[in-house]
Amino acid sequence: MSWTTEQIAAMVEPDRAHRKAYTDPEIFDLEMERIFENTWIYIGHESQVKEPGDYYLAQVGRQPMIMVKDKNGEVQVLYNRCPHRGAQLCTARKGNTGNNFYCSYHAWTFHLDGKLESMPAKQAYEGTNLDFEDPEFHMARPARSDNYRGFWFAKLSEGGPDLRSHLGESASAFDQLIDRAPGKETEVVGSCFRMVQQSNWKIFLENQLDASHPGVTHESTGKSAQQVEAKIRADGKEVPLELSFLSDFARLGHDGWTKFGTIGFPNGHSSLEGYMGLRPDDPDTNEYVRRMYAAYGEEKAEEILAVNIHHMLVYPCNSVQPPLQQLRTIRPLGPDRTLTEIWHFRLKDAPEEIYRRSLAYYYLVNSPSTLVNADDLFNWWKCQHGLESSAREWVSFHRNAGQDIEEGDKTYSAPDTMSEMPLRHMMHAWRDYMTAEKEA
Amino acid sequence: MASATEILAAGNAQAVADVSVETQLAVERFLYRQAEIIDEKQWDDWLALFGDDGIYWMPSEEDQVEGDGEPNVFWEDTYLMQMRIARNTHPRAHSQAPHNRLCHVVSNVIIESEEANGDLIVRSRFHCAEYFRYEVRNFTGKYRHLLKKTGDGYRIALQRTDLVNREGPYEYVLQWWL
């Protein structure tokens, strides 16, 4: 079938969504067209490409893209496609392409800004319609690319808001990744972890802000961590602080999980307040705070450290955990397959132990051997299979429905709840993206 | 004293040591038994393979020479191993219902170096099939063990496991060591 705007709008109700939004291949294609190839999508951080010729591949919707540092030190975002016969120009996921891009098929070469440089026996093109100055024969550029403080995005369609307007208050996630550094800079650590979720991309986003799942899904992790902590104490050793990232799941209890408010922002962005012991009273944290005071002054440093976000969802593609310097970006592959890239950032001039603490989180929670997300990914896979069943047509978002608090352009969850407000909020944004009139 | 990763990094990963047949057999027996222990999920025996400071390491990058302080696919001391065992065997470990099954084959065992005290660096190759969620996944790669000789047999000071596809993307995740 072909979905009409009315039919798509009818898939989202105030407190539920239709299962086919998660399973239908045609809906997925429309999502790629109307969301991922139409709004601002994360490409990467400038520290991934330091020297001229350094490049990194990224996927925007169904389009293969390259982020490259040009000879002037500017970051360029280009399509990874030769305008001659369509061959991809870079195949390694990252590298340095030298002074130009070189096509392995017919040796067309391109400057690092994508302009056609040359090809063998080029006199054969004299008198033809091939024009070296015509962008048609350059590596294609996205309609727009821009960065917010070194975090690069591309937008493949004309029109719509600029990047800053699109991000709105969700930009605070990127501010936090930088401002929490006493050296006021941040950079990626190594490469990213890449995992394939065998489930729809929206299931992942919904999970990130679903406060009612961690105590259930991660019960085995929380309780096991408490056992190991007890054993380490019994051995007369000091329990590493990082283990609390795991034991917190058992420690918080039902009431604990109701303390973390969520906020919905325009364009589908949303946030969950922080809950992990992010500012313990230990010598390394105190040294870090001292360096922050020295860098920013006490008042400004406290203002930065007071920002309390566990996850910021930058719709539709990022989940950022600023206090732990983690950034996940999703690249949907199909209705039931989603590639995630998970990055860890290092805060310039923070104590080594602070870096190691967030590295431990990166390992324990976000690595391919995760002791936490293994159960999440499994739940999402089970949801995907369940949603393929026609036993029920709807997905329920009823928890605390009707109690959301609207203030200006923001929506707050009801206090002391594990409200599904963010899930409702994201599906309403999804409906708006999917049914928007195409701009001329 | 050099750390276990420094000892591995300083070793010649192409060297072949001239060891006795007895040593070769003892090492092969140790590696085969390790594979059997994980396949049969004998977790107390697994922990006993490692020395007190023993580390299981799976780097995330090909050219990685240090695991400490770097992103890794695995970097676990015996406490983290106990954490993994406790979690994966917990009745509420939803993603282990049903439990997976592993089947290792270890081969190409080459002893790279032998110290006067009997400590060894050993290279080998492995293939592991995992049956999980009614499908089979395959993992292949190489091991490099730093083995300490004790009065009670060998203990692993460091096991480095390099998957051929270490950079991913990983379909789902790895819940057990390979």
pLDDT per residue of chain A (440 residues) written in tens, 0 to 9: 689 999 999 999 999 999 999 999 999 999 999 999 999 999 999 999 999 999 999 999 999 999 999 999 999 999 999 999 999 999 999 999 999 999 999 999 999 999 999 999 999 999 999 999 999 999 999 999 999 999 999 999 999 999 999 999 999 999 999 999 999 999 999 999 999 999 999 999 999 999 899 989 999 999 999 999 999 999 999 998 889 999 988 988 777 888 889 999 999 999 998 766 568 888 999 999 999 999 999 999 999 999 989 899 999 999 999 999 999 999 999 999 999 999 999 999 999 999 999 999 999 999 999 999 999 999 999 999 999 999 999 999 999 999 999 999 999 999 999 999 999 999 999 999 999 986 54
Q: Is residue A20 part of a domain?
A: no
Cβ of residue A95 closer than 8 Å to a chain B Cβ? no
A373 at interface of B, judged by CB pairs closer than 8 A: yes
In a domain, B84, yes or no: yes
Query: H/E element holding B32?
Result: helix B21-40
**How many domains would you assign to chain A?**
2
Q: Is residue B22 one of the residues assigned to a domain?
A: yes
Q: Residue A358 and residue A240: Cα distance in Å, rounded?
A: 13
- pLDDT at residue number A20: 98
State how far the Cα of A252 lies from the Cα of A266, in Å rounded to an integer. 30
Under 8 Å between Cβ of A68 and A26:
no
Coil/strand/helix, residue B20: coil
Looking at the fold, whether A122 and A199 belong to one and the same domain comes out as: no
CATH number at residue A81: 2.102.10.10
Which neighbouring-strand residues pair with A60?
A63
Do A181 and A284 lie in one domain? The reply is yes
**Residues A98 and A174 placed together within one structural domain of the fold:** no
Angle at CA B176, nearest 5°, toward B172 and B178?
A: 100
Query: B153 in the Ramachandran plot: left (φ > 0), alpha (ψ -120 to 50) or beta?
Result: left
Q: Closest Cα to residue B58, out of B70, B46, B40, B47?
A: B70
B52 contact A CB<8A: no
Question: Which of chain B's residues have a Cβ under 8 Å away from the Cβ of A193?
Answer: 60, 71, 168, 170
- With respect to residue B60, please indicate whether it lies within any of the assigned structural domains: yes
Does residue B152 belong to any structural domain of this protein? yes
The answer to whether position A346 is within a domain reads yes
Residue length of chain B: 178
Contacts of B52 in chain A (CB under 8 A): none
A295 and A347 share a domain?
Answer: yes
The tens digit of pLDDT for each residue in B17-59 reads 999 999 999 999 999 999 999 999 999 999 999 999 999 999 9
Range of the structural domain that residue B29 is part of: 4-163
The count of structural domains within chain B is 1
Q: Which residues contact A293 (CB under 8 A, 6 or more apart)?
A: A301
How much is the pLDDT for A256?
Answer: 82
Which residues lie across from B132 on neighbouring strands?
B135
CB contact under 8 A, B61 and A191: yes
Answer yes or no: is B34 within a domain: yes
pLDDT at B98: 85
A362 touches B at CB < 8 Å: yes
pLDDT at A431: 98
Work out whether strand A270-272 and strand A311-314 pair parallel, antiparallel, or are unpaired.
antiparallel
CB B94 to CB A217 under 8 A? yes
**Domain presence at residue B79:** yes
Tell whether B166 lies on the interface with A, counting CB pairs under 8 A: no
Q: How far is CA A89 from CA A400, B38, B111, in A?
A: 51, 43, 43
- Does A246 touch chain B if contact means CB atoms closer than 8 Å? yes
Q: From the CA of B176, how many Å to the nearest CA of chain A?
A: 8
Whether residue A273 is found in the same domain as residue A333: yes
- Report pLDDT for A438: 67
- State whether A58 and A203 are in the same domain: no
Looking up residue A269, the CATH number of its domain turns out to be: 3.90.380.10
pLDDT, averaged in runs of 10, over chain B (178 residues): 93 97 98 98 98 97 93 97 96 89 98 97 98 92 98 97 93 94
- Contact call for B90 and A224, based on CB within 8 A: yes
- Cβ distance B173 to A195 less than 8 Å, yes or no, reads yes
Q: Do residues A269 and A131 both lie within one domain?
A: no
- Flag whether A12 is in a domain: no
Compute the distance between CA of residue A348 and CA of residue A185 in angstroms, rounded to an integer: 5
Residues whose CB falls within 8 Å of the CB of residue A349, separated by 6 or more in sequence, listed in order: A181, A182, A183, A291, A295
Q: Are strands A318-321 and A410-412 parallel, antiparallel or unpaired?
A: unpaired
Query: Within an 8 Å CB–CB cutoff, is residue B178 touching chain A?
Result: no
For residue A176, tell me if it sits in a domain: yes
A348 and A324 together in one domain: yes
Length of chain A as a residue count: 440
Q: Are strands A337-347 and A193-197 parallel, antiparallel or unpaired?
A: antiparallel
Residue whose tokens read 């950032």: A345
| Cβ-based contacts of B82 with chain A (< 8 Å) | 228, 231
Out of A128, A155, A182, a domain closes at A155
The complex's ipTM works out to: 0.96
The answer to whether the CB atoms of B93 and A220 lie below 8 A apart is: yes
Contacts of B79 in chain A (CB under 8 A): 228, 231-232
Chain A residues whose CB is inside 8 A of the B86 CB are: 224, 227-228
Question: Using a CB cutoff of 8 Å and minimum separation of 24, what contacts does A88-91 make?
Answer: A88/A64, A89/A139, A90/A55, A90/A57, A90/A66
| A147 and A173 share one domain | no
A308 shares a domain with A389 = yes
Enclosing domain of residue A139 = 41-155
Cα gap A284→A214, rounded to integer Å = 28
Residue B171 lies in a domain: no
Peptide bond into A135 cis (omega under 30): no
Domain match, A45 and A133 both: yes
| DSSP-assigned states of every residue in A99-119 | TEEE-TTT--EEETTS-EEE-
So what's the pLDDT on residue A273? Answer: 86
Residues A400 and A277 in one domain: yes
What's the CATH number where B82 sits? 3.10.450.50
Residues of B in contact with A356 (CB under 8 A): 69
Tell whether A276 lies on the interface with B, counting CB pairs under 8 A. Answer: no
